[in-house]
Every structure is written in structure tokens, then in C-alpha cells.
Structure 1
């Protein structure tokens, strides 16, 4: 009986050692993936900062004004004036849909089916 118990315990130790070995390498792989993803996030954040700076540079008011003046013959862009805005009472809102009564529109009358 002792021999059987020793073999079972030895097998259990070997299985646990194999499991720990596999988990060790899975953990290392997961940590490596995390490092790669963090590095990629860092690079993308840096790229996003550059793109935001470029967008701000391209949308400078004086540059846009020069482009509007340069392309006036083609586009006909004019500065906005207050009379181009409307009032809320000038908006044509659609009428709400009519609701169908819960009784199917019979109004208490029996149908002639």
C-alpha cells in the first residue's frame, strides 16, 4: 500500500511540476505580449500627438483665410454674417404620427367577420 501511495504522490508531484512549467511559459508569453501592446500604444500616442499638431498647423485662421481668398473664384466663399442664421420658429418640424387606439380602432364596436 505504501508503494502505491508513493507512486501516486510522485505522479502528482510530476504533474504539478509540469503544470507549473507550462504556466510559467504562458505567463512569460503574456507579459511579452503586454510589453508589445504597451509599446504600440506609446507609439500610437506619439503619432496622435504629431497628427494633432499638424491638424492645428493646417487649420490656422490666417492660412484658411489665404486659401479662401486664393480659391474665391472657384468656390465663392464669403465670411459668415449674422443674417445667415435662422430662428427656431422658422424650422419646419414634422407632425407627430397619429396613434392607433389600443382596441385596434374598433371603438367598442363588434366587427362583422
Structure 2
């Protein structure tokens, strides 16, 4: 019986050692994958910042004004002036038509008001 317990203990230790060995290599593979993803994220962020800088460079007001002047005969673009904008108060909104109340619900506060006051 003692030999059986020693054998089972040795098999359990070898099984746990094999499991730990596999988990170690699986963890190392996941860590290397995470590092690769972080490097890709860093590269994409750098690319995005470069694109944002290029966008800001291309959208300079003086450059856009110069392009508008060069292409005026073909596009007819004019500079924006404050007089071209309207006032918010001048906007008319349609009236909201509410449907009539057909099934009113009696509440305790409405009943108290109908009786002559709130307590």
C-alpha cells in the first residue's frame, strides 16, 4: 500500500511538473504576443500623430485662402463673413400639437386639491 502511495505521489508530481512546464511556455508566448501588440499600437499612434500633423499643415488658413483664390473661376468660393450668418432667434420652429387627454389617472395629490387643499 505504501509503494502504491509513493508511486501515485511521484506520478502526481510529474503531472504537475509537466503542467507547470506547459503553462510557463504558454505564458511566455502570450507575453510575447502582448509585446508585439503594444509595439503595433505604438507604431499606429505614431502614424496617427504624423497624419494629424499633416492634416493641420494642409488646413492652414493661409493655404486654404490661397487655394480658394486660385480656383475661384472654377469653384466660385468666397470667404466667410459674419454677415452671412443668421440669428438664432430668427429661426421658426413648428408648434407642437399635443393630443387631448382621454384617460386621466386620479392621483392622491389631485384628489387632495379637489377636496380643498393639500395637507
Q: TM-score range by the shorter chain?
A: 0.7 to 0.9
Alpha-carbon RMSD: 2.0
4+ residue segments displaced more than 6 Å: none
Cα drift, residue 23 of structure 1: 0.6
Distance 1:20 1:99, change over 3 A: farther
Task: State the aligned residue count.
Answer: 105
Cα drift, residue 99 of structure 1: 5.0
Give me the whole-angstrom Cα distance separating, in 2, the residues matched to 1:30 and 1:97: 62
Structure 1: runs of 5+ lacking an equivalent: 109-113
Q: Determine the structure 2 residue equivalent to 1:76.
A: 76
Give me the whole-angstrom Cα distance separating, in 1, the residues matched to 2:94 and 2:8: 80
Give me the whole-angstrom Cα distance separating, in 2, the residues matched to 1:63 and 1:91: 34
Q: Determine the structure 1 residue equivalent to 2:61.
A: 61
Give me the whole-angstrom Cα distance separating, in 2, the residues matched to 1:22 and 1:77: 68
Structure 2: runs of 5+ lacking an equivalent: 106-119
**TM-score, length of structure 2 as denominator length:** 0.77
Q: Determine the structure 1 residue equivalent to 2:112.
A: none
